Structure 1
Amino acid sequence: MSRMFFIAFLIISITCPAQKTTSNDWKMKTENAEFLHRAMKQVTDVIVHDIFSPPVTSRTYAYVSVAAYETLIQGNNNYTSLAGQLHDLEALPIKENKIEYSPTLAAVHALLTTSKHFVLSEEKIDGFEKTLLEEFRTLGIPKTTYDSSIAYGQQVAEHIIAWANKDNYKQIQSMSDYRVRNDVGSWKPTPPAYMKAIEPNWNKLRTFMIDSAQQFKPVPPPPFSTDTASTFYKDVVAVYEKVNTNTAEENEIANFWDCNPFKMNVRGHVMYATKKISPNGHWMNITSLTCKKSNASVLKSAEAYATVAVTLADAFISCWDEKYRSSVIRPETYINQHIDPNWLPVLQTPPFPEYTSGHSVVSSAAAIMLGKLFGETFEFSDNTEVEFGLPVRNFGSFKQAAEEAAISRFYGGIHYMPAIVNGQEEGYAIGAFFANNLRTNSK
């Protein structure tokens, strides 16, 4: 009897698979954060190609990241919408419960569709999305699910674009350029291209969560002076002497955090540009590699992108507000006029006033938000600059990376120490404001 039972059991085991393939297997395959990371990297690549200024880049990242986050959290009680928290963002379209969706597919489509509203090279986004969507189709998503996911992602994208269209950006672009002041102590265009000042009216952009561009106004910079006993002169000499005595490691740090989207190169009578990632693009990439190292879900990854991006965006508004209020002269200009006409900084001086340091502000703000999400002692290897020919740098925390990003501007010869130290305080305050007040995960 027992022998017959064993044979029957064996036959059943052979003819009936232990785990039957179901029609929902596509769900596990599509809810993969890598799709989101690849979409965000494509946006970064197009931003680099299109040569966006750092403030404009921060605006783009904020809107596309919010689009992805809001798409993914619909119907998920563990996450809170940013509607009602970010200025003028109204409740997002609601998914129909009776229809099945792929949240990741919908979110990727929302992110990429939104991004096309901001970039110049739309065709690069189109081509990438076409390839990505073909990958989704090969995973066995039912046609009705595929179509409903794309349709919902489109709804969210249109909602976010409508929100973005009311942030005063178009009006800012039609405002007058910055008029260079004649006094000796104010910012002047710098070599080699002597470009006009970038985004002098950025403080008029609608903020994302801070009350206004002035909410985290830093202390004023030291007053301009050519008196050798003055604080300002001593700050200038500190930059001059630091660049002249930099170690190889300090020069490497300066170049690693350069993040100049449009470095102008001069070879005789030929001038050409080198395109690189922006400082906020660098921190968005740090967000990406952090999510990957921690095996963050697609929802957690979207939360990280969105919270870091809106923090960066308001940090830029705050920083740019101060830059054009104080209009501090750059070290290169001062040193060439008053100390050494042949002196050159390690880095090319960017085309906007000196105070406060943008890297110091935005890096400090991003570090606070990332520390909240992933821990204050999260170790990571930053490979952001590898594609631009620079080696990996290792950090024991986000704050350590932010501190290195800040001091890199001193090593690079493009900022005085007050812009760095006070910029860090400005950034830490903005980061803490977002970390303490922006609600995402409801657990």
Structure 2
Amino acid sequence: MSPLFRFVFLCSLPFLFLACGEDVNPNYPEEVAAPEFYHRAVKQLTDVIVHDIFSPPVAARIYSYSNIAGYEALAAGDPSMPSLAGQIPHLSPVPAPPAGVEISHPIAALAAQLKTGKSMIFSEEKMEVFEDTLFQEIAAIGVPEDVMAASLAYGRQVADHIIEWYGGDNYKQTRTFPKYSISNDVSKWQPTPPDYMDGIEPSWMKIRTFALDSASQFRPLPPTPYSESKDSKWYQEVMEVYEAMRTTDTTELAERINIAKFWDCNPYVSHHIGHVMFATKKITPGGHWINITAIAARQAKADLATTTRAYATVSMALHDGFISCWDEKYRSRLLRPETFINRHIDEEWRPLLQTPPFPEHTSGHSVISRASATVLTHIFGDNFAFTDDSEVEFDLPARDFPSFLAASEEAALSRLYGGIHYRPAIDYGMVQGEAVGKHLLERIQLGSTTISKK
């Protein structure tokens, strides 16, 4: 390779995948670019998270650190992308690219994201097979071997830095903390059918945040006071849940069922038929919003900088949102509708959706959906209409939304239709999530790019 050609080639590496047609890869459509490789890497991580059955808060943690790693590896070669170091007080700068060595930062970003994600899941071999295939495909485009090797090495060096950093977030310590203790207080949460599982992550509020000053920074309003009186506000809120699926309007009923199932996002639903028990696995609520991020970035034809920025910011909103929500859940420790209704109204009643194994107030879907929608609106704009096909692979039809905020409102309301949340948990959770999202945007700046909606 002549010195002149090598210089031109290497200078174009950050934009290598932005070319189109057969000059890149005849197997890809014209719009496929470096972002598409990154989308595929994130989707692979989602698939493994589903396979390994991580809980929603833990999944959000995995998305966060892996996408921060990808962003930081790319930002190291792009002065327009501010590093998160310093903006997140406990993150020190990632290693600088080695002097005199030619690096493709898009490739490094993939290597960083994949290695960090692989370090946080169980099925490492699934990530390794994907990684080998992806990098062989990229190498086949014509990347010089020395550039490929150096880029992979640098990306993995960034990953090592992020892996060491996340080791101090208190996650390992919480693995040894006590389980949730069931109370004799009739207003407090107790395990629910069919599996009566222990409360998930009762110490999650002790996990280190990214932008929040503390887990309780945006403490929501408390739930309505518990009461067994039929004249109480509490009882009215219970009856709203009880009656949600008892409407005689068949069209309205069908729509409520569709909404509830579309946003279910329960990573592990058990089914009991006689003596046989089996389970189905799906994406987590955070995984759903990560996929919406991919939908928006593809639709906007976002460049790699914007794509990694969107993933990193949404992931951090999910992470801080779950910490904020779980802080309230295990403070109020409110019982679920299923428990109260079975005790006092209808012992045969079952919610449309399987009740998740943790306290009721506030709604996790409401918090993290609003936080994610707030971030995505900031990045891609108001009234960004899109078709959400996140659940198609789980045999549910796609749904259309006029904006991210509208999608978050439906996601929140779905929990009432599903029979697993009272109205205050939904409404207060939305306020809580918006506060988390706005605070993140105020505290952390990842630069901006022009988005073309097509």
Q: 1:82 aligns with which of 60, 81, 84?
A: 84
Amino acid at match of 2:326: W
- Supply the distance in 2 between the matched residues of 1:359 and 1:254 (Cα, whole angstroms): 11
Which residue of 1 is the match for residue 239 of structure 2? 237
- Supply the distance in 2 between the matched residues of 1:69 and 1:20 (Cα, whole angstroms): 26
- With over 3 angstroms needed to count, the CA separation of the structure-2 counterparts of 1:181 and 1:313, relative to structure 1, is same
- Supply the distance in 2 between the matched residues of 1:333 and 1:442 (Cα, whole angstroms): 47
The answer to whether the 8 A contact 1:331-1:415 is kept is yes
The answer to whether the 8 A contact 2:337-2:420 is kept is yes
* Aligned-pair CA distance for 1:242: 1.2
* Aligned-pair CA distance for 1:22: 6.5
Which residue of 2 is the match for residue 408 of structure 1? 414
Task: Map Cα deviations across residues 360-417 of structure 1 (whole Å, 9 max, x no partner).
Answer: 0000000000000000110100000000000000000000000000000011110000
Which residue of 2 is the match for residue 137 of structure 1? 139
Q: 2:260 aligns with which of 229, 254, 257?
A: 254
Amino acid at match of 2:265: C
The answer to whether the 8 A contact 1:26-1:140 is kept is no
The answer to whether the 8 A contact 1:354-1:419 is kept is yes
Instruction: Give secondary structure in 2 for the equivalent of 1:272.
Output: strand
Instruction: Give secondary structure in 1 for the equivalent of 2:272.
Output: strand
- TM norm structure 2: 0.91
* Aligned-pair CA distance for 1:314: 0.2
Is 429-438 or 306-315 further displaced after alignment? 429-438
The answer to whether the 8 A contact 1:50-1:120 is kept is yes
Which residue of 1 is the match for residue 221 of structure 2? 219
- Supply the distance in 1 between the matched residues of 2:446 and 2:239 (Cα, whole angstroms): 46
State the aligned residue count.
425
Q: 1:357 aligns with which of 363, 382, 389?
A: 363
Considering only CA atoms, is the larger Rg found in Structure 1 or Structure 2?
1
Which residue of 1 is the match for residue 21 of structure 2? none
Alignment of 1:128-277 (within 5 A): 128-245=130-247, 247-277=253-283
The answer to whether the 8 A contact 2:14-2:105 is kept is no
- Supply the distance in 1 between the matched residues of 2:272 and 2:363 (Cα, whole angstroms): 26
Is 71-80 or 391-400 further displaced after alignment? 71-80
Instruction: Give secondary structure in 2 for the equivalent of 1:66.
Output: helix
Instruction: Give secondary structure in 1 for the equivalent of 2:177.
Output: coil
Which residue of 2 is the match for residue 11 of structure 1? none
- Supply the distance in 2 between the matched residues of 1:87 and 1:63 (Cα, whole angstroms): 15
- Supply the distance in 2 between the matched residues of 1:70 and 1:253 (Cα, whole angstroms): 37
Amino acid at match of 2:364: G
Which residue of 1 is the match for residue 387 of structure 2? 381
For the pair 1:397 / 2:403, whether they are aligned, the reply is yes
Instruction: Give secondary structure in 2 for the equivalent of 1:264.
Output: strand
The answer to whether the 8 A contact 2:77-2:105 is kept is no
- What is the RMSD of the two structures over their aligned residues, measured on CA atoms? 1.6
Q: 2:64 aligns with which of 54, 62, 79?
A: 62
- TM norm structure 1: 0.94
The unaligned stretches of length 5 or more in structure 1 are 1-18
Alignment of 1:99-138 (within 5 A): 99-138=101-140
* Aligned-pair CA distance for 1:29: 3.5
- Supply the distance in 2 between the matched residues of 1:176 and 1:239 (Cα, whole angstroms): 32
- Supply the distance in 1 between the matched residues of 2:236 and 2:395 (Cα, whole angstroms): 35
Task: Map Cα deviations across residues 236-262 of structure 1 (whole Å, 9 max, x no partner).
Answer: 011101122261011000000000000
The answer to whether the 8 A contact 1:29-1:139 is kept is no
The unaligned stretches of length 5 or more in structure 2 are 19-33, 450-454
Instruction: Give secondary structure in 1 for the equivalent of 2:245.
Output: helix
* Aligned-pair CA distance for 1:46: 0.1
